[in-house]
Amino acid sequence: MDKAKLRACADRAYRDAAGATTSGLLYLGVRTGLFNTMADKGAMSVEDVVSASELNHRYVQEWLHGMVAAEYLDYDPEANTFELPPEHAYLFASEDTDHYVGGIFHGMPGLLQAAPAVVEAFHHGGGLPYNEFHHEVHESVDLMNRGIYEKRLCEDWLPAVPGLVDKLSAGGTGLDLGCGAGTVTITLAKAFPAGSFSGVDLHPPSIATARAAAQVAGVADQTMFFTDPIETLPSDQRFDLITAFDCVHDLADPAAVLKSVHQRLKPGGTFLVLEIRSGDNLEDNIHPIGAMFYGFSMFHCMTQSLAQGGPGLGSCLGPARTEALMQEAGFTRFEPIKIRGPFNLLYAVGH
């Protein structure tokens, strides 16, 4: 036996066990507001954190100790104080920005709650349906994506498609497939006041969230949200822009849905597809973000598709399989758009 290999595997196992439990501690920091409490405050005693957060002393103390051990908080042993460094606050106390990572942890316990059902699915097939996940999983999808969409969709992504901004500014129409909490639809409506934008999602609670968010954003008149499958929308209803963000790999019947998208796109229109950043080959995905997405896939994306009798495409679809799906649906234009960030790939697709 190679002792160095054995030790490396043991180290990796302990590191991953620590990662799993630290994910739980990060979840607590996000859900209790402790990261926000500690942001910009410098060094704090346990009592300072307890009084600023109004949370239970013993729980706060144990959380602070765990966060020090996991190296998310700086610790001064002489003063017995704890500090959330500004760089860490930038990532964890920054909801609604494009650099917030707290959303990942908001949904982590709910995601792993799927594990026993996934064990069953290994034996008997099927999976855990989308609507049986804890609501925090659905919320976390929006928390992970919202800041990115609000910041980059209209500033960076749409201008990369020639003519698209002009079309939408002149009263164009858009449809967001798998709209979730409605962020893309609402962001488009706010940026293009002359346009009209629809969102479609099979998950009724998400549609209720989207409708409420459109009211709050003052764009209810410009937006419509449906729970009907896109295949059942009137086929003469056509759009200048159709978006499918973090959605294609989730589809239970990608062929039928993408054919419907093809039919509902106006001639010269754009189908903007945002997918998980992943290489075509497994060996391209051997890194922490790849491992994270295979986990998201197993415990959410793939299993919910298989639960509906779908193909379970999985999160790490990769550009080649994405392009093949688009070609099968009848699209001939497939252009990768270069975007920044570690999580996503973007494609402009057209007839």
Q: Report the interface residues with ligand SAM, using CB under 6 A.
A: 130, 141-142, 145, 177-180, 200-203, 206, 229-230, 245-247, 250-251, 257
How far does CA 2 lie from the centroid of its chain? 40
- Nearest-angstrom CA–CA distance, 238 and 265: 5
Contacts of 289 (CB under 8 A, 6+ apart): 277, 342, 343
- Nearest-angstrom CA–CA distance, 172 and 195: 5
* Shorter beta-carbon distance to ligand SAM: residue 121 or 273: 273
Closest CB 304 distance from ligand SAM, rounded Å: 8
* Shorter beta-carbon distance to ligand SAM: residue 203 or 277: 203
Instruction: Write out 105-127 in H/E/C secondary structure.
Output: HHCHHHHHCCHHHHHHHHHHCCC
The angle that helices 183-191 and 135-148 make with each other, rounded to 10 degrees, is 30
* Shorter beta-carbon distance to ligand SAM: residue 93 or 144: 144
* Shorter beta-carbon distance to ligand SAM: residue 30 or 313: 313
* Shorter beta-carbon distance to ligand SAM: residue 251 or 302: 251
E-strand spans in the chain?
74-76, 81-83, 173-177, 196-200, 223-226, 239-245, 265-276, 333-337, 344-350
Closest CB 61 distance from ligand SAM, rounded Å: 36
* Shorter beta-carbon distance to ligand SAM: residue 136 or 250: 250
The label of the residue with tokens 């075509």 reads 280
Closest CB 170 distance from ligand SAM, rounded Å: 25
Closest CB 229 distance from ligand SAM, rounded Å: 6
Closest CB 96 distance from ligand SAM, rounded Å: 14
* Shorter beta-carbon distance to ligand SAM: residue 93 or 200: 200
* Shorter beta-carbon distance to ligand SAM: residue 116 or 204: 204
- Nearest-angstrom CA–CA distance, 30 and 105: 7
- Residue 235, classified by CB atoms within 10 Å of its CB into exposed (0-12), middle (13-18) or buried (19+), is exposed
* Shorter beta-carbon distance to ligand SAM: residue 229 or 319: 229
Q: Which helix (H) or strand (E) holds 73?
A: none
How far does CA 185 lie from the centroid of its chain? 16
Closest CB 273 distance from ligand SAM, rounded Å: 11
Q: Are 199 and 182 in contact (CB under 8 A)?
A: yes
The closest residue (CB) to ligand SAM is 178
Q: Are 274 and 244 in contact (CB under 8 A)?
A: yes
- Nearest-angstrom CA–CA distance, 134 and 266: 37
Give how far Cα 325 sits from Cα of 121, 143, 300, 334, 348, Å.
Answer: 26, 28, 21, 11, 14
Closest CB 188 distance from ligand SAM, rounded Å: 12
